[in-house]
Amino acid sequence: MYNRNEAYDFKALEERELKRGKIVKLPGSRLRRKEKLKAQKILFISTFSIFLVTALCVSGFVLGQAKLTEFTDKAAKASVELEQCQSLNTQLRMKLETIQSSDSNCSFKNKNDCAVEIIKVHNGDTAKIS
């Protein structure tokens, strides 16, 4: 099986390892430091890039939410203004109908009795007041 003399013969053991190529030289301290610095640089750059991407995503989300809020406020103000204009329009129509009905009650013989005054109400719209 094995030779007892070879077990204590270190020269034979070293020759076998050299033949097999199992002897590995460890890198020097300078090489280890360079590799360590390189690994630290890569780690720093990857961490910094992940931080930048996250910051950009968060800032984009916040900016989008701010714009959405502004548009919502503008839409709410516009809808309130539209309701006010519609209400004013309804009031003016009712006044116009009352004026027209009062005009039909006036006789054409007594024009002085039915004094009609024309006024400008809104952006060129006119209304008659009796």
Residue 11 lies in a domain: no
Asked if pLDDT for residue 49 goes beyond 70, the answer is: yes
Rounded mean pLDDT, 83-110: 81
Residue 86 DSSP label? H
Instruction: Classify residue 4: in a domain, yes or no.
Output: no
Cβ–Cβ under 8 Å, residues 99 and 130: yes
Strand 126-129 and strand 117-120: the pairing is antiparallel
Asked whether residue 19 is domain-assigned, the answer is no
Q: Which comes out higher in pLDDT, residue 112 or 52?
A: 52
CA-based nearest residue to 87, from 32, 52, 95, 58 = 95
* Closest alpha carbon to 115 in 99, 126, 130: 130
Domain-located, residue 69: yes
**Nearest-angstrom CA–CA distance, 65 and 67:** 5
The pLDDT of residue 82 is 96
Structural domain span for residue 68: 27-129
Model confidence at 24, in pLDDT bands (50, 70, 90)?
A: low
Task: Work out how many domains the chain is built from and give that number.
Answer: 1
Residue 101 falls within a domain, yes or no? yes
Q: What is the CA radius of gyration of the chain?
A: 48
**pTM of the entire predicted model:** 0.45
Give the distance, in angstroms, between the CA of residue 106 and the centroid of all CA atoms in the same chain: 65
